[in-house]
Amino acid sequence: MSRAASIVAAAGVALVVVGGTVVAIAFRGGISARREPSAIEARVARALRTWAIPSEARDAPNPFQASPRVLAAGLAHFADHCASCHANDGSGQTAIGRNLYPRAPDLRHPATQGLTDGELFYIIENGVRFTGMPAWAGPGSAEGSWHLVHFIRHLPKLDGGERAQMEALNPKSPDEWRALQDEESFLRGDEPPPREPGHGGHTH
């Protein structure tokens, strides 16, 4: 066997061993999403994500200046489109976010806050494969996504009033709308809503 052929064969064996190890680690829990992703998976996934974002996208500056109007637009957009998984405060602590694989990240932490504006925009617009993050790009989507970038930067400083505003803007089921209307009419002084079976105004 020539020297070149030996090198190719050794590289092939190494590739199979490394690849097999990665697959074994990734699928050691079967296809279940209940297990917490390992530190190795998280590290590899983050590295791959960084590597996969084109450098011109990474370096793109936010074309919009932060302002109360831009933050308000980002807040409304986030509450309506993002909070189901990421939570209003960006913690990822929702029924969906904490059970995705990988888990929805805490957007207030350095792993997200350390990304460039361009990286955040790219992820919002293009999504991330093999995660729950969808691609939101569409006609006219760029302005809203850049507003979201400003709002994500603001998440660590979110106050109680802003969280209350977001709760009013979160998507609601018909039952939730009815419950909200019941609450508001009761607080205005109307009759209390009818007692729900077994709970006496104490609902689950």
Partner 1 sequence: MIRLMTVLAVAAAVVAGPAFAHEKGDRAIGVVESITADQIVIKASDGHVVPFALVPDTRFSVGDKTAGAQDVRAGQRAVVHGKRSGDKLIAVRVKLARHKR
d(Cα 155, Cα 146) in Å, to the nearest integer?
15
3-state secondary structure of 56: helix
d(Cα 129, Cα 184) in Å, to the nearest integer?
42
Please give the C-alpha separations between residue 47 and each of 39, 43, 57, in angstroms, as whole numbers: 12, 6, 16
d(Cα 145, Cα 162) in Å, to the nearest integer?
19
Tokens encoding 55: 């450098």
CB of 101 to partner 1, least distance (A): 13
CB of 180 to partner 1, least distance (A): 10
Tokens encoding 85: 């998984």
Q: Is 199 in the site for partner 1 (CB under 8 A)?
A: yes
**Span 69-128, contacts to partner 1 by CB under 8 A:** 84, 94-96, 99
Among 10, 11, 47, 164, binds partner 1 (CB under 8 A): 164
Among 51, 55, 187, 197, binds partner 1 (CB under 8 A): 187
What is the total count of residues that contact partner 1 (CB under 8 A)?
A: 30
**Span 14-73, contacts to partner 1 by CB under 8 A:** none
List contacts with partner 1 (CB under 8 A): 84, 94-96, 99, 159-161, 163-165, 167-168, 173, 179, 182-183, 186-189, 192-193, 195, 199-204
